[in-house]
Structure 1
C-alpha cells in the first residue's frame, strides 16, 4: 500500500465533498439566482458539475493507486499532481489579480488543492 497515494486520495475526496456541499450552497445557488444571462449561467453550472466529477474521479484514482503497485501508476499520479498544481495556480492567479486585501484567504481553495498535489507527487517519487 502506498500511504502517500492514500493520503492524496482521501484529501481529494474531502476536497470533492467540500466542493459539492459548500460550493453548491455558496457558489452555485447564488450563481443560478443571479442576473447573469441564461446561457453563460448554465455553462458555468455545467462546468461546476464537471469539476465535481473531476475531483471525485481523481480521488478514486488515487485511492485505487494506493491499494497495489499498478503499472503506469506513477505516471498517473504525476498527471494528477500536475492537475492539482494547475488548479491551485489558477486560484492563486485569480485571487492575486483581484487586488483584494488578504487575498490568499479570500479564495482559500488553493490550500485544499495543493496538499493533494504534494501527496500524490511524494507517492510517485
Structure 2
C-alpha cells in the first residue's frame, strides 16, 4: 500500500463528487438556461462531462495503484499527478486573466486539484 497515492486517489474521488453534484448547481444549470446557441451550449456541456470522466477514471486509477502499491504503475501515477498540476495551472492562468489576484478565490477548484497532483507525484517518487 502506498498511502500517498491512495490519499491522492481518495481526494480525487471526493473532488469528482463535488464536480458532478455541486457543479450542476453553480455553473452548469445557469449556463444551460443562458441564451447561448444550442451547438456551443452542447459542446461546452460535453466538455464538462469529459472532465467528469477524466476525474473519476484518473482518481480510481490512483486508488488502485495506492491500494496495491504496484511499483510498475508509479510512472502512470506520476503522469496523472502531472495532469492535475496542469489543471491547476489552467485555473490559475484563466482566473488571473479574468479576475486578477481574486481569481484564486473566484475559481477555487485549484485548491482540490493541487494536493491530488502533489500527493500522486510524491508517492510515486
User: What band does the TM-score fall into relative to the shorter chain?
Assistant: over 0.9
Q: Give the count of matched residue pairs.
A: 125
Secondary structure of the residue aligned to 2:36 is coil
Q: Is the 8 A contact 2:6 2:66 kept in 1?
A: yes
Please provide the CA RMSD for this pair: 1.2
In the TM superposition, 1:41-80 aligns within 5 A as 41-70=41-70, 72-80=72-80
TM-score (norm 2): 0.95
Please, which runs of 5 or more residues in structure 1 have no aligned partner? Answer: none
Measured against aligned partners, the alpha-carbon deviations of 1:27-51 in whole angstroms (never above 9, x if no partner) come to 1111111011110000000111111
What residue in structure 1 maps to residue 32 of structure 2?
A: 32
Please, which runs of 5 or more residues in structure 2 have no aligned partner? Answer: none
- 1:68 deviates by 1.8
Measured against aligned partners, the alpha-carbon deviations of 1:73-103 in whole angstroms (never above 9, x if no partner) come to 1111111011001111000000001134622
Q: If each structure's helix is expressed as a fraction of its own residues, which one has the higher value?
A: 2
- 1:107 deviates by 0.4
Question: Which 4+ stretches in 1 moved above 3 angstroms?
Answer: none
CA distance in 2, matches of 1:88, 1:39: 28
